[in-house]
Amino acid sequence: MAAVDSTQRTPAFRQVLVEALREEASVWLLVVKTLIAFFLTGWIAMRLALPSPSSAMLTTIIVANRQSGMVLAKSFYRGIGTVVGTLVAIVIVSAFAQQRVLFLLSLSVWIGLCTAGATLYRNFKSYAFVLAGYGTALVAVPVINAPLNVFDSAWARMSEVLLGLLMSGVVSEAVFPARMRDVMRRTGREQFTDFIAFVRGAVGGVVPREAMENAHLRFVRAAVTLEDLRSSVVFEDVETRARSNHLRLFNQRFMATSTSFQSLHHLINRLKRAHRERAAAALIRLYAPLRKGLDGPLGAGLAAQALLPPLVDARKAIDADVVFLRASLADAQDLRDFDTGAALIRRFADELHDYVESAAALQSSRPFPTISAERVRFDRGNDFLGAGIAMARATLTMLALGAFWIQSAWPFGSSAMLLATVFAGLFATAPNPTRTTWIVMLGYLCGMTMAFICLFFILTQVDGFGLMAVCVFPFIAVGLVMMFTPKTASFGLGWAFGLTYLLGLNNIQVFDPAHAINDAIAQIIGLGAAAAAFVVIPPAVGSPWLRRRLMARLRGQVALAANAPLPGLRHRFESVNNDLVSQVVAQTEPGSADSRALIAWALAVHETGRAVIEMRHDMAGRDVPDALRPYLATALDRLARFYTSPDVATYVAARDAVATAISGVFEHDGQAYLLEHLSLIRMALLDSESAVAAYMPDAPLAKEIAHAP
């Protein structure tokens, strides 16, 4: 028996060991690549006699990443931030060369603005804002007593940073490059296969609400992840840059198709709950041809292209079946339900075909002639009040340290300000910036301790760049290993920063223990000030207050659908919805009450908002009787008010306004298309399992799917 147990355990142990060794090897490969860039940059900087080679070397640590695309993307935005920060530093120094108070005030406000900008983005664009802020400080603060040297300081700063970025990019591309392109393609295939498989499995009709909610979260994450990858891969891959708009279009079509899919199944589920079996069964039969259209191997590329002809046939079959199935229904209410669902099925079939077509086009060697050339964007849902809080925190922190520096005439006050500037901006968007800053500060202290030992007990005994590199290698390698290990990343970041900064490697090395100790104390005080600022003015990220604001913004998307200009509205609505949901999901515990409320509201907003947008598009392309327009405008206005400020009164007003508009449509011939949209909106308002159920008054009308006479 023992032998059997051992045999059973061996494969698992071997698998765990292989996975551990593979992960350890990937970490050390990244460490080696970073160290090559680190020392190569230092050697070139010293050969060029740059003022601070250590700044160039530190840049290689900051932009280090496993994937080449990430390195290039981060380098690109760091370069932009450095250039902007340098130019602003020249302006500030030129304007307030003799006014220290105004100098510090303008610098603090600028850093606050950059910190606010960093909170509005969740990719490397935010890094450009952070760099523009503390890059200004790195150029301007050291020359506060010698303003005429600002041009030399600016040139040196730009040269050092750009050299570090260049070397990081070259090494990342030349030494065992890891391509983000492969990750993006795999993510796109997984998005496609997951969605098509889910649609194929749902052809039977009713999809449990829990399954739909879980699928919605997967689809949201897939859309946001693909956009984040695309924004990085364009830096490393020519083909991705050429097809960037097609990738956006593929993602936008995915979001639109998934919304129509969810709306369709919510409609069928509501009809089932309301015992409208005939209408529900007819819609399920009408939906059935899509099952045949989706048969075949799953995957993007040739498999996607092979799905196109069957989907065309499926759309034709649906059009043919509509007449037959509608004729099988005699009840007027069943007919209205069927017409609403049939219009939704047709919309879904068209969008599904377009989505599959875009998937096939991405893998084709030649662009599809039918693919739209429309420029699409992935808009983000940003909270400007939260950005204002981040701005106030960074500005006040800089002002407090600046005031202390002026009053105390502390020789090392500039070091404290620089460190506070860096980390106040760098961690402004972190979920728990106070804890992160304290961990980084502990790592920074350990790194500076190691730097002190290396500098004064080892480097004093050697000469030449080669021996210097050999001596520094074990100290910096330890920090990099921790930095590239997820559990110790923050500590390792502080270690690598503190070690590199205090070493201050240069052509002519200065060994001054007193200066090093005082500089280290100043840096720790700067880090402590940044951590204290996050305590005094807590960040909005992760707070219940911000979650409530994001939820309100999500509900407000219905108002956007009702009032915003139509050009590009579909893309804007879908992308902002997905971005807002992904933000709140990241800040809520899975399965919690907040998470369930988020998903419920997200489904309601997606369904109602899309119905409103489609109705407005149809209204814009057709002649709507003047007598009917006031009813439609009132319905849209009441819907926007309810979703913006939900309560019983606004719910009743929206429900009644939609019912009134439906009654008005019955009085005008040739407006059946409006009835389809309005009926879908009304059913969503009367769904007892949706988020809006909490605002339904205790009346029979709220207990079932009701229809206007």
* Least confident piece of the model among 391-400, 482-491, 628-637: 391-400
53 with 174, same domain: the answer is yes
Q: How far apart are CA 482 and CA 370, in angstroms?
A: 50
Q: How far apart are CA 707 and CA 333, in angstroms?
A: 8
How remote is the C-alpha of 103 from its chain's centroid?
Answer: 35
Q: What's the per-residue H, E or C state across 538-575?
A: CCCCCCHHHHHHHHHHHHCHHHHHHHCCCCCHHHHHHH
Please, which pLDDT band fits residue 374 given cuts at 50, 70 and 90? low
197 is a domain residue: yes
Length of the chain: 709
For the chain, give percent helix, strand, coil, nearest 5.
Answer: 80, 0, 20
Domain range for 338 is: 181-363
Please, which pLDDT band fits residue 22 given cuts at 50, 70 and 90? low
Query: How many Cβ atoms are within 10 Å of 407's Cβ, its own excluded?
Result: 9
pLDDT given at position 543: 66
Q: How far apart are CA 243 and CA 367, in angstroms?
A: 9
Residue 544 in this model has a pLDDT that exceeds 80: no
Per-residue pLDDT reduced to its tens digit, 645-669: 998 999 999 999 998 888 888 777 6
Q: At what angle do helices 2-47 and 150-174 cross, to 10 degrees?
A: 140
548 is a domain residue: yes
Q: How far apart are CA 10 and CA 682, in angstroms?
A: 60
The DSSP annotation for 488-523 comes to GHHHHHHHHHHHHHHH---SS----HHHHHHHHHHH
**Quick check: 447 and 478 in contact, CB under 8 A?**
no
Residue 684 in this model has a pLDDT that exceeds 60: yes
Per-residue pLDDT reduced to its tens digit, 518-539: 888 988 888 888 888 887 777 6
Residue 3 in this model has a pLDDT that exceeds 50: no
Q: Which of 470, 501, 536 is the last residue of a domain?
A: 536
316 is a domain residue: yes
DSSP-derived secondary structure letter, 229: H
Please, which pLDDT band fits residue 8 given cuts at 50, 70 and 90? very low
Residue 561 in this model has a pLDDT that exceeds 60: yes
How confident is the model over 134-156, as a mean pLDDT?
85
Q: How many structural domains is the chain composed of? A: 3
pLDDT given at position 540: 60
Residue 703 in this model has a pLDDT that exceeds 50: no
Identity of the residue numbered 191: Q
Query: How many Cβ atoms are within 10 Å of 244's Cβ, its own excluded?
Result: 15
State the pTM of this model: 0.75
pLDDT given at position 453: 93
306 with 442, same domain: the answer is no
pLDDT given at position 1: 38
CA-based nearest residue to 386, from 588, 535, 527, 538: 538
Residue 471 in this model has a pLDDT that exceeds 90: yes
174 with 185, same domain: the answer is no
pLDDT given at position 642: 93
Q: At what angle do helices 569-586 and 244-273 cross, to 10 degrees?
A: 80
User: In Å, how far are 265, 344, 605 from 206, measured between CA atoms?
Assistant: 6, 15, 21
What percent of the chain is modeled with pLDDT above 90?
14
67 with 200, same domain: the answer is no
Residue 580 in this model has a pLDDT that exceeds 60: yes
pLDDT given at position 570: 85
Q: Which of 515, 536, 557 is the last residue of a domain?
A: 536
3 is a domain residue: no
528 with 677, same domain: the answer is no
Query: How many Cβ atoms are within 10 Å of 689's Cβ, its own excluded?
Result: 13
Q: How far apart are CA 321 and CA 289, in angstroms?
A: 9
CA-based nearest residue to 222, from 181, 258, 260, 267: 258
418 with 493, same domain: the answer is yes
128 with 166, same domain: the answer is yes
376 is a domain residue: no
Q: How far apart are CA 561 and CA 611, in angstroms?
A: 9
353 with 393, same domain: the answer is no
Please, which pLDDT band fits residue 450 given cuts at 50, 70 and 90? very high
Please, which pLDDT band fits residue 7 given cuts at 50, 70 and 90? very low
Residue 606 in this model has a pLDDT that exceeds 90: no
How confident is the model over 64-75, as a mean pLDDT?
80
**Quick check: 655 and 686 in contact, CB under 8 A?**
yes
CA atoms within 13 A on the CB side of 343: 18
Most confident of 115-129, 156-170, 616-630: 156-170
* Least confident piece of the model among 8-12, 335-339, 672-676: 8-12
6 is a domain residue: no
Please, which pLDDT band fits residue 14 given cuts at 50, 70 and 90? low
pLDDT given at position 6: 42
Q: Which of 495, 518, 536 is the last residue of a domain?
A: 536
Please, which pLDDT band fits residue 449 given cuts at 50, 70 and 90? very high
CA-based nearest residue to 481, from 433, 505, 438, 447: 447
Q: How far apart are CA 90 and CA 86, in angstroms?
A: 6
143 with 275, same domain: the answer is no
Q: How far apart are CA 601 and CA 695, in angstroms?
A: 13
372 is a domain residue: no
More confident residue, 362 or 459: 459
What mean pLDDT value characterizes the chain?
A: 81
Residue 367 in this model has a pLDDT that exceeds 70: no
Structure tokens at 597: 């409320």
Query: How many Cβ atoms are within 10 Å of 297's Cβ, its own excluded?
Result: 10
**Quick check: 297 and 333 in contact, CB under 8 A?**
no
Per-residue pLDDT reduced to its tens digit, 504-520: 888 888 888 888 898 88
Please, which pLDDT band fits residue 147 given cuts at 50, 70 and 90? confident
pLDDT given at position 203: 62
Q: How far apart are CA 238 and CA 460, in angstroms?
A: 48
Residue 44 in this model has a pLDDT that exceeds 90: yes
The DSSP annotation for 607-676 comes to HHHHHHHHHHHHHHHS---TTTHHHHHHHHHHHHHHHHS-SHHHHHHHHHHHHHHHHHHHTSTT-HHHHH
Residue 589 in this model has a pLDDT that exceeds 70: no
Structure tokens at 648: 């019983």
Cβ neighbours of residue 593 closer than 8 Å, sequence gap 6 or more: none
pLDDT given at position 700: 41
**Quick check: 192 and 253 in contact, CB under 8 A?**
no
Residue 136 in this model has a pLDDT that exceeds 60: yes
Rg (CA), the chain: 30
Please, which pLDDT band fits residue 412 given cuts at 50, 70 and 90? confident
Q: How far apart are CA 546 and CA 403, in angstroms?
A: 31
Structure tokens at 417: 């300000």
CA-based nearest residue to 227, from 216, 214, 240: 240
602 with 687, same domain: the answer is yes
174 with 156, same domain: the answer is yes
pLDDT given at position 38: 94
165 with 186, same domain: the answer is no
* Residue owning tokens 């096939």: 360
Please, which pLDDT band fits residue 2 given cuts at 50, 70 and 90? very low
User: In Å, how far are 286, 556, 593 from 389, measured between CA atoms?
Assistant: 53, 22, 27
Q: Where are the beta strands (DSSP E) in 112-183?
A: none
458 is a domain residue: yes
**Quick check: 161 and 56 in contact, CB under 8 A?**
yes
